Amino acid sequence: MSKRRYYTYIMASRSGVLYVGMTNNLARRVREHKQKEADSFTARYNVTRLVWYRAFPRPQDAIAAEKKIKGWLREKKIALIEKENAGWTDLGPEVMESGHGGAV
């Protein structure tokens, strides 16, 4: 059985703009957002803080979660973040330093 993991994640700006995405390498993707190498939306709105993520064993599960969360109202997304990260702490540095969320 493969140990590869796939991630659905939420990035936020300090002003509260949210971005929901999916990746197979969370550490790399967070780094891209922080360095503003990723898509223009996150760069334009300074969306650089990882505030929530979840790992899945199959890509289709991560894609389904991403689509589901993208369909939620903002209030529901905020409730999801605050359930696990009440202070909206940037989880990015820990993920990038530990390599957690990288391809296995």
Contact between residue 6 and residue 55 where contact means Cβ atoms under 8 Å apart: yes
Instruction: Tell me what the mean pLDDT of segment 74-93 comes to.
Output: 97
Residue pLDDT, tens place only, 10-28: 999 999 999 999 999 999 9
Distance (Å, whole) CA 36 – CA 17: 15
Residue 88, Cβ density class (10 Å: 0-12 exposed, 13-18 middle, ≥19 buried): middle
Confidence of residue 101 (pLDDT cuts 50, 70, 90): low
Domain architecture of the chain: domains with CATH? 6-98 (3.40.1440.10)
pLDDT in the model for residue 39: 58
Give this prediction's pTM: 0.91
Q: Which percentage of the chain shows pLDDT scores above 90? A: 77
- Which pLDDT belongs to residue 40? 72
